[in-house]
Amino acid sequence: MQPAKHRPWTPAEDVKLFDLVEKLGAGKWSQIAKEMGDRSDNQCYRRWKNKAPPELLIKYKEKVAVKRERIPGNFVGRKRSRPDIESILDEGLPRDDSGKICV
Confidence of residue 76 (pLDDT cuts 50, 70, 90): low
Residue 84 within any structural domain of the chain: no
Gap between the Cα atoms of 48 and 46, Å rounded: 5
Residue 81 within any structural domain of the chain: no
Residue 1 within any structural domain of the chain: no
Condensed to tens digits (0 to 9), the pLDDT of residues 13-70 reads 999 999 999 999 998 999 999 999 999 999 999 999 999 999 988 998 888 888 877 7
Structural domain including 40 reads 11-76
Residue 44 within any structural domain of the chain: yes
- Asked if residue 8 has pLDDT above 90, the reply is yes
Residue 101 within any structural domain of the chain: no
CB-CB contact of 13 with 36 (8 Å): yes
Supply the pTM of this predicted model: 0.62
Residue 89 within any structural domain of the chain: no
